[in-house]
A and B are shown apart, each in its own frame.
Chain A
Amino acid sequence: MTDRFMLSRRQLLKTSAAGAALGLASAAFPINRAFAAAATVGFIYVGPKDDYGYNQAHAEGAAALKGIEGISIVEEENVPETVDVQKTMESMINLDGASLIFPTSFGYFDPHMLAMCAKFPDVQFRHCGGMWNKDKHPMNAGSYFGYIGMGQYLNGVVAGHTSKTKKLGFVAAKPIPQVLLNINSFLLGARSVDPTITCQVIFTGEWSLAVKEAEATNALVDQGADVITCHVDSPKVVVETAAGRGAFICGYHANQSPLAPEKYLTGAEWNWAKVYKMFVDDLIAGTPLPNFTRGGLADGFVKMSPLGPAVSEPAHKQFDATLAEMMKGGFSVIKGPLKSNKGIVVATEGQAFVETAIELESMDYLVEGVVGSTA
């Protein structure tokens, strides 16, 4: 028993690591504090704020509020869609005095945000994803979303001009309506240039899974795709992998051109700054916040990345013309005659679905020309 007072090195290391982990875990609690702010606005992200993707787009929107007099911001990143997000919302309300909260991940809505809406009737909650329904949900809840499919159509126009192999590639997370609409829009944009173009899609099955995204990108390039786009939470891996293989890239969620300046053509980006400023202006003015907010390119909810150096003159021209057409309103990406890639008619001759059409929100098909399957 000579070692009875000896500090066990293994134990020390273990617990020191726990101490350090405790410190790391503290990053999970909002550090910004509300000092004498007229209103505190909370933002919650499901991933890191600098993911070059979904979360960065929201964080850029939040950052745009920072200069506004009397508004203070609290943020928390990497919050899972569990009771954690409920407790994060409560912490923002109880400890930071937040009166407006934006839980930005789709999975935060039900049951998490709805539970908090019932518990804190004086706090306003606005969720990104467009689920709010006045018959089912409380008035201090609401949702906002953008029609970004048009952006993928414009991506497709540029991709269609740029592709030499006439094969495009799409790395997608899950076969859900929002993603399917983006894939279909990308291909149809490209087919507006050349109707023989095809687009191979690979679903990774997860919103964020870097290894599979890299494998999918490599597989697409191996099969001859020379322009790649994606719909995953963080396009960083897809962009870097595709550029490394010499393929061109159309971006998504945020501007990824710094990752591959030569190969980046353009990208469909969210412009949440516009949306968040709108809500905060209402908050300052004391007018009720809208419960259901949506918009597309024409409304400034969605924007395109500046065109890259590899975009040709004809591509530039058609891009500008299509964009101008969309800005007028009433543009339809899905219009007949159109079949799914299983041969089922999805739009008959003369039938057209504008971006606001409710039918698009339950899309369960890939259009003719897309190589891939939804199940």
Chain B
Amino acid sequence: MADTVSSAPAVFGARGYSAALEWIARRAEAFVIPLAALIVGMVLFSLFIALVGKSPLQLYETMWRGGFGSWFSIQNSLSRGAPLLLAALCVALPARLGLVVIGGEGAIVLGGVAAAATGVALSGAPSSIVILAMGVAGMAAGGIWIGAVGALRHYRAVNETISSLLMAYIAIALMNHLVEGPLRDPASLNKPSTQPLADAYRIGNIPGMEVHWGLVVGIVACILSWLLIEKTRWGFAARIAGGNVRAAQVQGLAVGPLIVGFTALAGGFAGLAGMLEVGAVQGSANASLAAGYASWRYMVLQVE
């Protein structure tokens, strides 16, 4: 709840210099703490690198060169990051309700399959309509999947962390069944896939960049989510429910619909990530969709 501080600097005149300083310091804190923590993390990691006999400086130089050192590297980072924006919303939105959802991958793969199936089914229609329909189908599939996690949580008291994780496995199995069975392109022998999308239905790059439009969609989705959480009454209600469900219920907030709505929206964004993966990158749905964008799945596997 650190970011509920919203006292404006209107007190400048009244309390003078020290108040202004305090205001600046409070704002600076938001940058200094993460930066300091990042540096601490890098120093600690350097120790590990030094322990295995490699030069940490050379490592960080390579990281910089690969990640940010040139326009090419920056685009490289952005294009790898684009799907992560939407996948991350599938964690961030439920988190505001106090829910830990780690199964975004399920929504991604089903969103991708739904989008691919829609793109093939509507083959022949104008491309703007098809792409829009693909987006809606992807969001719907992902939304239903993670919305179900939220519903199980609220109406059946099933732990959302476990259920979202397990449902991700079901989703991947379902995707494998669909792309290897009913939706399989018979020409895809050794890598079962859906029928390839026509070129007209593919999503291109942002002009002047080698990053597909998914980056813009991701950024817009993040901004909209921020507005939803911080500036609307639903967001406010969600934050209350995230703080204390019982208190929210006492206040008369409809906690059930809030939880289902927010988890469905979160899943919808992840489903959209799957749709973009199909439309902009893969051109069809196949097992490559389960690429670990919501890689908590793998972290949990390690723990197992």
Contacts and interface: CB of A to CB of B under 8 A. Distances in A.
Contact of B59 (A5, A13, A14, A31): A31
Interface stretch (B31-39, B133-141, B255-263): B31-39
B72 A80 contact: no
Contacts of A8: 2, 33
A261 B209 CA distance: 54
Contact of B44 (A19, A84, A207): A19
Given A4-B22, A19-B40, A206-B287, A94 B45 contact: no
A344 B4 CA distance: 70
Given A26-B62, A111-B283, A361-B189, A11 B34 contact: yes
Interface in A18-62: 18-20, 22-24, 26, 29-31, 33
A218 interface: no
A107 to B, nearest CB: 5
A5 B29 contact: yes
A81 interface: yes
Interface string B261-286: 00000000000000001001111001
How extensive is the interface on chain B, given as a class?
Answer: 35 or more
Nearest to A93: B72
B283 A16 contact: no
A64 interface: no
A22 B42 contact: yes
Interface stretch (A172-180, A190-198, A252-260): A172-180
B10 interface: no
Contacts of A33: 62
Contacts of A83: 79-80, 212, 280-281
Contacts of B291: 80-82, 84
Residue of A15, A174, A210 with most partner-chain B CB within 10 A: A15
A106 interface: yes
B41 interface: yes
B49 interface: yes
Contacts of B76: 87, 90-91
Interface in A277-325: none
A84 to B, nearest CB: 6
A357 interface: no
A23 B49 contact: yes
Contact of A211 (B33, B34, B62, B304): B304
B292 A87 contact: no
Interface in A186-218: 205-207, 210-211
B66 A174 contact: no
A68 interface: no
B26 interface: yes
Contacts of B34: 11, 15
B189 A4 contact: no
A107 B287 contact: yes
A149 to B, nearest CB: 14
Contacts, number: 141
A82 B41 contact: no
Contacts of A19: 37-42, 44-45
B94 to A, nearest CB: 17
Nearest to B277: A82
Contacts of A80: 288, 291-292
A295 to B, nearest CB: 18
Contact of B41 (A5, A15, A84, A176): A15
Interface stretch (B116-124, B143-151, B173-181, B239-247): B173-181
B41 A22 contact: yes
A64 to B, nearest CB: 23
Contact of A178 (B54, B80, B190): B190
A223 interface: no
Contacts of B67: 29
Contacts of A26: 59-60, 62-63, 66
A34 to B, nearest CB: 12
Nearest to B177: A205
Contacts of B231: none
A111 B38 CA distance: 36
B190 A177 contact: yes
A118 interface: no
Nearest to B214: A83
Given A12-B33, A18-B41, 20 more contacts: A8-B2, A12-B40, A15-B37, A15-B38, A16-B38, A16-B44, A19-B37, A19-B45, A22-B38, A22-B63, A23-B42, A23-B45, A29-B66, A31-B59, A80-B291, A107-B286, A107-B287, A176-B190, A176-B192, A211-B304
Interface of A: 4-5, 7-8, 11-20, 22-24, 26, 29-31, 33, 80-84, 87, 90-91, 94-95, 106-107, 110-111, 129, 174-178, 205-207, 210-211, 361-362, 375
11 contacts: A15-B41, A16-B38, A18-B37, A19-B42, A22-B63, A23-B45, A26-B62, A31-B54, A33-B62, A87-B76, A94-B72
